[in-house]
Amino acid sequence: MTGASAAATGRPSTNTLGMGIMLFGIFLFMVNDTLGKWLVSTYSVGQVLLIRSVAALIILAPFLARTGLKPLVSLERPGMQVLRVVFATVEVLAFYGAVAYLPLADTMAYWLAAPIYVAALSPIFLKERVGIRRWTAIVIGFVGVLVVLQPSQASLTAPAFIAIGGSLTFALMMITARSLRGTSDKALVFWQTVGALVGGAILAPFGWVTPDPVDLGLLAILGVVAMAAHMCVTRAFKLGDAADIAPLQYTMLVWAILFGYLVFGDVPRLTMLFGAAIIMGAGLFIFFRERQLARRVSSAQPVTPG
């Protein structure tokens, strides 16, 4: 439906709908992360991940029952699938490990640098050519990370290094996902959740604390909210234009600052805000530059009849 016809009928265009769903999905992710930070102050990361993953699989089961098991086991490039699951598991463990000690907004600023890492690593892993403009944006993005980190004896702590390592692992997960475009979203989410379940089961016995019914419900809600957020983001990209949808991910920082202040009393540092602004600017430039180059390649392709 075109914008004119959508306006005439009073119905939103699919692109507008996609943007709305993306914003709601980002909000759900931040609810999930805020609740996760609250819970890891009492329960171990492994325990949180275990119960969260069990709840997510229960929610996912009815959707998988419709398609059967074949799409889950007949996968392209099995080795790359395993590697992606390993990266995804390490990434979520690192996130909860970092957010247990760092302010929510600081942790999110590190994770927002992942697209910059992807651009920097793509020549190595994806054999993609990166020009001088994108390399300049990559360097500027790394400067933003350093501004957030504020390298000093006081700031170079284990949680900060865990956050940097986790965001780098998230970038590696994104890179492997690029080479698995033929795999269905359900299969990707299922195996990613299974990987988190296994990782949580291995770590959960260490420091296990038996949750009361209320906390058990909150731990289960983590999985439900995370699954709903994944579905919203996936659906948003199918409905809308990526140029309009992708930049909305940076609203995460707004929610992180708000929830961090309201729930945990965290007041954002000016250096963190400045560094995050640099990271977001560099990330947006890289995204739109890659999109511009992709359009040029597409327009240069010969058009065949039929």
Q: Report pTM.
A: 0.82
Q: What is the pLDDT of residues 83-99, one digit of tens each?
A: 999 999 999 999 999 99
Q: What is the pLDDT of residues 176-234, one digit of tens each?
A: 877 777 777 778 888 889 999 999 999 999 888 999 999 999 999 998 998 888 888 87
The first and second tokens of residue 115, run together, are 């697209």
What is the per-residue pLDDT for 165? 93
What is the per-residue pLDDT for 80? 87
For tokens 């890891």, the residue is 40
What is the per-residue pLDDT for 185? 76
Q: What is the pLDDT of residues 159-175, one digit of tens each?
A: 889 999 999 998 898 88
In Å, what is the CA distance from 298 to each residue of 245, 294, 295, 302? Answer: 21, 6, 5, 9
Domain assignments of the chain as residue spans, ordered by start: 13-298
Q: What rounded mean pLDDT belongs to the chain? A: 84
Cα separation of 300 and 82, whole Å? 36
Q: Is pLDDT above 70 for 270?
A: yes
Enumerate the H helices of the chain as residue ranges: 3-9, 14-39, 45-67, 70-73, 78-99, 104-111, 114-125, 132-149, 158-178, 185-203, 213-239, 242-245, 251-264, 270-300
The first and second tokens of residue 55, run together, are 């709840």
CB 163 within 8 A of CB 109: no
What is the maximum span of the chain, computed from C-alpha positions, in angstroms? 66
- Give 179-191 as a DSSP string: TTTTS-HHHHHHH
Cα separation of 213 and 226, whole Å? 20
